[in-house]
Amino acid sequence: MFSLKTKLVALGTAASVVFGVTSYKLLEPQGEVRDQKTEVLSKVLLQGLSSAHYAPEKLDDNFSKKAFKLYLERLDYNKKFLLKSDVDQLMAYQTQLDDEFKNGSFKFFDLSMSLFQQRLNEAESYYKEILDKPFNFDQEETIEVKPEKLKFASSPAALKEEWRKYLKYQALIRVADAIDSQQKADTAGSKEPKKTPEAIEADARKKLKENYDDLFKRMKQLENEDWRSSYLNSFANIYDPHTEYYAPKEKEDFDFEFSGRLEGIGAVLQEKDGFIKVSEITPGSPSYLQGELKAGDMILKVAQGNDEPVDIQGMRIDKAVSLIRGKKGTEVRLHVKKVDGSMKIIPIIRDVVVREEGYAKSLLIKGPKPIGYIHLPAFYADFKNAGGRNSGKDVAAEVQKLKQENAAGIILDLRNNGGGSLQDVVDMVGLFIKSGPVVQVKSANGPAAVLDDRDSQVQFGGPLVVLVNENSASASEIMAAAIQDYKRGLIVGSSTYGKGTVQQFFDLDQVLPASFDGVKPLGHLKLTTQKYYRISGKTVQLRGVTPDVLLPDTYTYLKYGEKEQEYALPFDEIQPAKFTAWSSPNFSIEKLKATSKARVDKSPTFSLINQTALRLKERTENSTRSLKLSTYLAEERKSQEESKKLDAVRKNIPQLDVAGLKPDVTKLAGDTAASARFQAFTRNAKKDLYIQEAVAIMRSGL
């Protein structure tokens, strides 16, 4: 999920060399297409993994056992379908998967699918029978909610009992929520008739049954390609957790997430109760400008211009979305059932949808010495569009605007920034240093390559604070590490994720000659091809970046980050690069750490955040839950009271005095939607405790 991406490589002859297919015998392009496709795909993936991965695995029985375990976990994570006898039957293949992978064989996969589909049908009868009878929530009964602590059921009767407790727990949550909502309505003076406990319980079972009807319907609609992707990734993820196979449709979704661009209509859709519903309209999008499609509308059919409409009721959401998306300038006609029950055909001309909220934004924090604040949610880059936006240029523009507003210091917020473009990191660090190395990148063989900022100009030389947390990963960690190693600024927050690897996408279709067009498209392989290192020589892999000033966080005591991922590559060190630290540091780090700690220790809000983190840790470690309603309600109400305390304290936090930058205010004038989004961004920043502490740190050092 936190991937450092290099630019998509145009693969051709070079890809064939990298993958080694020039000397690798593939199937002749004949025979049944589906069987040939799976075999070709398997062999091409194996070649890519073996020849291009940073740390190739030895395909032996040990590898096979790892892949078997990983696949089994993903096939039936909650252990609600397969029996122990099924697993025992599959165990015969435990040491053979490496051989099947080499030979392009799918015997084990086919057997697992046969068993799973059989148990899927049986489980469907379980939940229907169980949800047909009322649950008794007065019994003293518990359930284990951590799948890793469960065992596969020894018999159909034992599995059915597991389903009973599992469904009872889900119904219990619904009943408790309904009781809580009803009590809140009573307190608010609602005159709506109260439901009896029996009616509430019956409603919970009815809704649960509807959801499971939908779930099983969708599971049965999954195609062989969906299951196959999961199976093949059980091999790929043994190499490391970021090496993955993407089926063609999955790669399209990834490109949208990474670039923030999509040619479509700008509506956020969700699958609910078997229907595709609109949950949100993106401001400024084609849907927003057309004006007729609204949140809550139900899309029943989709037509491409004048073509016959396709009924999408009961369709998987990814299939429905693929019909609605399309090229800029083309027309899609949506047959919609409005919230009021009326039917309408809505024509929309598709256009490029750009998610503005994913781009860099700035504010000015007022005071005798104003401080600039830049929020960067990702190191984005639009590799397919030469004129597309990228984070390096955008942040440079924000820095320039802040300088024009006479900002004495800058806070760069990288919290929850999962990474992105490597080149943009280099460009961004270069805004704050004269010149020199930013990061070292090492392939499996040969010395590390040093990526330098070659521009001697310092765009901003004032005090700098970089905010990070546990979800700051990959490119964010490079940025924070470089600033820290240069002693250019202060890193504030909690320890980062710990991802120190570089991935590259390979288009598998471009590896094969035209004679294999009949089995295309095959999809993409995302490979870990390099590791990156700080200029000090250490990698951030597993360990992340430890801030200069640590602040309490709700994740503080949880097992989190790259170190918790299975088969993560190890921490190591290489020779440091030659660099010169910032010659005139603006901060006395030890003094600022001491004054920050004193503030945090006195802060009731930070104290409650720490208490919340401890409770979350305790609840995570204790994975047994009561199925008795009174016990469950008591536990939930206790948690709610604790949460209310934190909310109450947060409400009393003094607000920062912030303002939009003059160019932004001018640009937003007259754009109601963009202005509303920016106002929401401003409101959140005003009450953000971590931004406030970063401001306090900076002001005590100015």
Q: Which pLDDT tens digit goes with each residue over 349-407?
A: 988 765 666 789 999 999 999 999 999 988 988 877 777 889 999 999 999 999 999 99
Q: Which of helix, strand or coil describes residue 244?
A: strand
Catalytic residue among 499, 526, 531, 593: 499
Strand partners, 506: 525
Of 514, 527, 602, 678, the closest CA to residue 56 belongs to 527
Q: What is the pLDDT of residue 254?
A: 56
Q: What are the CA-CA distances from residue 701 to residues 364, 365, 486 (Å)?
A: 18, 16, 18
Q: 39 and 26 in contact (C-beta within 8 Å)?
A: no
The candidate with the shortest Cα–Cα distance to 121, out of 161, 81, 78, is: 81
All structural domains of the chain, each given as residue ranges with its CATH number in brackets, are 56-239 (no CATH), 261-354 (2.30.42.10), 357-587+655-701 (3.90.226.10), 588-652 (no CATH)
Token pair 């640590």 in the structure block, residue = 550
Query: Taking 50 as the threshold, does the pLDDT of residue 62 lie above it?
Result: yes
Q: Is 203 a catalytic residue?
A: no
Mean pLDDT on 268-291:
72
For residue 666, is it left (φ>0), alpha (ψ between -120 and 50) or beta? alpha
Given pLDDT bands bounded at 50, 70 and 90, which one contains residue 20? very low
pLDDT at residue 654 in the model = 85
Question: Is the predicted pLDDT of residue 624 greater than 50, yes or no?
Answer: yes
Mean pLDDT of 536-565: 91
Beta strands in 247-383 (DSSP E): 261-264, 267-272, 275-281, 298-304, 310-311, 331-337, 343-349, 351-354, 361-365, 371-375
Residue 499 annotated to the active site: yes
Q: Average pLDDT for residues 627-637, to the nearest whole number? A: 91
Across the range 285-305, mean pLDDT stands at 82
Task: Quote the distance between the C-alpha of residue 580 and its chain's center.
Answer: 36
**How far apart are alpha carbons 287 and 266 in whole angstroms?**
6
C-alpha 295, offset from chain centre: 24
Whether the pLDDT of residue 284 is over 70: the answer is: no
Could you tell me if 441 and 6 are in contact, meaning their C-beta atoms sit under 8 angstroms apart?
no
Token code pair at residue 531: 């590791």
Query: Based on C-alpha coordinates, what's the Rg of the chain?
Result: 28
Catalytic residue chosen out of the listed positions 474, 495, 596, 626: 474
Cα–Cα nearest to 317, from 453, 222, 238: 222
In order of 365, 417, 428, 483, the CA distances from 480 in angstroms are 22, 12, 11, 5
Give the highest mean pLDDT range of 217-226, 512-521, 644-653: 512-521
Say whether pLDDT at 633 is over 60.
yes
Report which DSSP code applies to 341. S
The more confidently predicted of residues 76 and 618 is 76
Looking at 86, 98, 351, 485, which residue is catalytic? 485
Cβ atoms of 701 and 586 within 8 Å: the answer is yes
Distance (Å, rounded) from C-alpha 179 to C-alpha 175?
6
Does the active-site annotation cover 700? no
Closest by CA position to 691, among listed 406, 372, 359, 477? 372
Among candidate residues 461, 484, 482, 471, the one with its CA nearest the CA of residue 548: 484
Task: Identify the H or E element spanning 229.
Answer: helix 224-239
Query: Has residue 698 got a pLDDT over 60?
Result: yes
Q: Which two tokens stand for residue 77?
A: 């994570």
What distance in Å separates the CA atoms of residue 449 and residue 276, rounded to the nearest whole number?
49
* CB neighbours of residue 676 within 10 Å: 12
